[in-house]
């Protein structure tokens, strides 16, 4: 993967071109002070104070926070824990954007959303209605740390680069159903594969709609994506809304940290000369069990020889064994 291919997949790069076919999004530059805050692991976990001076959780001893005990204060040598940081200009811009987007958003940085930190939010999701919600998710997320520190690690020609980081606030949509989300694989500007994104669940309705879904995505790719995305090899994620319209969720580079989900990269590469396949979980035996963790699926290591690779191969072997046993019993 080339650095330029990765940079094209930043939401600030692709969204302006495809905004009509995506979720309404407002993109804000992130000040250096907030970036330093996200990367600072040395001090206590403090959420930013609001412009009015309030600490949203509160998290320092002067606020009579029940989470701080005398023993914890003693651990700091008797020194008071610093007051929470404040980013008033960014918070004001974020709150205005949230209002403009209907009152609820989900956040992401250049490439990643803080999916792995959803368990930290009171709602258990990425739905945010305040700057403090967003700060909590971003500060808690390893995916966000990956964007900030390791985004270029998979690039064969990576060099010291000045990436400009942005905060993308995307309008919260209640109709975004996981069974209607799909990852599409493009090789040499040709659609070679599609698969469902949520691989840990069997959705019976997908079997009935598979042919229709394939047709809708093909038409969308040919008419919207193919001629306007500059890379030759890439993936893009979409969802199909209730009215049948296809909406782009994201673009991802080919290979690198992008997971092929129900495919493997060698299999997809062999389709370069004309192959195509659309994969869904066909039955309950075909789900990928054990992958519903706080780590997003896109960051699990399923490379050959990895622990997950061995585990998934055992799952496939067991599924085949059960299938043979079932046939023998008939």
Q: Is the alpha carbon torsion for 17, 18, 23, 24 positive or negative?
A: positive
pLDDT value, residue 65: 47
Residue 319: which H helix or E strand, with range?
helix 307-329
Residue where a domain stops, chosen among 144, 171, 198: 171
Q: How far is CA 85 from the centre of its chain?
A: 27
Q: How far is CA 97 from the centre of its chain?
A: 21
Distance of alpha carbon 106 from alpha carbon 199, whole angstroms? 22
| Integer CA distances (angstroms), 208 to 184, 200, 258, 325, in order | 19, 19, 28, 27
Q: Which residue has tokens 């940290």?
A: 257
Is there a single domain that holds both residue 166 and residue 228?
no
Q: Tell me whether residue 292 is in a domain.
A: yes
pLDDT value, residue 315: 52
- From first CA to last CA, the distance across the chain in angstroms is 49
Name the percent of the chain in helix, strand, coil, to the closest 5: 40, 15, 45
Residue where a domain stops, chosen among 129, 153, 171: 171
Number of domains within the chain: 2
Is there a single domain that holds both residue 161 and residue 226?
no
Average confidence (pLDDT) per 10 residues, the chain, 330 residues: 93 97 97 94 78 51 46 49 83 96 96 92 89 94 92 81 90 89 97 94 91 97 97 97 94 92 94 94 74 41 50 57 57
Is there a single domain that holds both residue 110 and residue 192?
no
Is there a single domain that holds both residue 158 and residue 213?
no
pLDDT value, residue 149: 92
Q: Tell me whether residue 11 is in a domain.
A: no
pLDDT value, residue 50: 74
Residue 106: which H helix or E strand, with range?
strand 105-108
Tell me which residue range forms the domain holding 52. 24-171
pTM over 0.85: no
Residue 183 φ/ψ, nearest 5 degrees: -105, 130
Compute the residue count for the chain: 330
Q: Which residue has tokens 């049948």?
A: 244
Q: Whose CA is closest to 258, among 111, 110, 108?
A: 111
pLDDT value, residue 287: 75
Is there a single domain that holds both residue 306 and residue 213?
yes
Distance of alpha carbon 144 from alpha carbon 1, whole angstroms? 20
Is there a single domain that holds both residue 45 and residue 145?
yes
Is there a single domain that holds both residue 161 and residue 275?
no
Cα angle at 11 between 234 and 130, to 5 degrees?
A: 140
> Are 31 and 39 in contact, with CB atoms under 8 Å apart?
no
Sheet with strand 277-279: strands edge to edge: 246-253, 234-240, 181-187, 190-196, 277-279
Can you list the alpha helix ranges (DSSP code H) found in 79-231? 88-100, 131-140, 142-150, 204-220
CB atoms within 10 A of CB 168: 22
pLDDT value, residue 283: 84
Q: Tell me whether residue 82 is in a domain.
A: yes
Is there a single domain that holds both residue 32 and residue 53?
yes
In our burial notation (b when 16+ CB lie closer than 10 A, e otherwise), range 3-24 reads bebbbbbbbbebbeebeebbbe
Strand partners, 153: none
Is there a single domain that holds both residue 185 and residue 167?
no
pLDDT value, residue 184: 98
Residue where a domain stops, chosen among 171, 192, 210: 171
Residues in contact with 323: Cβ distance below 8 Å, sequence separation at least 6, in sequence order:
285
């Amino acid at each position: 993967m080339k650095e330029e291919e990765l940079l094209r997949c930043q939401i600030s790069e692709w969204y302006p071109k495809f905004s009509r076919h995506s979720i309404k999004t407002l993109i804000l530059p992130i000040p250096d002070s907030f970036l330093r805050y996200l990367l600072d692991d040395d001090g206590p976990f403090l959420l930013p104070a609001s412009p009015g001076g309030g600490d949203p959780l509160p998290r320092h001893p002067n606020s009579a926070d029940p989470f701080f005990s005398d023993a914890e204060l003693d651990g700091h040598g008797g020194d008071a824990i610093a007051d929470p940081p404040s980013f008033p200009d960014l918070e004001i811009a974020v709150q205005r954007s949230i209002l403009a987007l209907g009152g609820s958003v989900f956040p992401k940085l250049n490439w990643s959303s803080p999916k792995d930190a959803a368990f930290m939010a009171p709602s258990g999701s990425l739905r945010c209605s305040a700057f403090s919600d967003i700060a909590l998710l971003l500060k808690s997320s390893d995916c966000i740390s990956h964007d900030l520190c390791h985004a270029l690690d998979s690039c064969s020609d990576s060099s010291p680069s000045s990436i400009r980081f942005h905060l993308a606030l995307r309008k919260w949509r209640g109709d975004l159903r996981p069974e209607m989300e799909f990852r599409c694989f493009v090789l040499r500007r040709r659609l070679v594969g599609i698969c469902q994104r949520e691989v840990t669940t069997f959705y019976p309705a997908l079997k009935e709609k598979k042919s229709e879904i394939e047709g809708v995505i093909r038409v969308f790719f040919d008419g919207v994506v193919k001629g306007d995305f500059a890379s030759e090899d890439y993936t893009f994620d979409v969802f199909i809304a209730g009215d049948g319209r296809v909406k782009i969720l994201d673009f991802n580079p080919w290979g690198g940290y992008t997971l092929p989900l129900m495919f493997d990269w060698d299999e997809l590469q062999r389709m370069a000369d004309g192959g195509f396949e659309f994969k869904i979980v066909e039955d309950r035996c075909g789900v990928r069990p054990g992958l519903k963790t706080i780590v997003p699926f896109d960051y699990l290591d399923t490379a050959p020889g990895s622990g997950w690779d061995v585990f998934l191969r055992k799952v496939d072997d067991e599924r085949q064994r059960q299938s043979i046993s079932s046939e023998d019993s008939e």
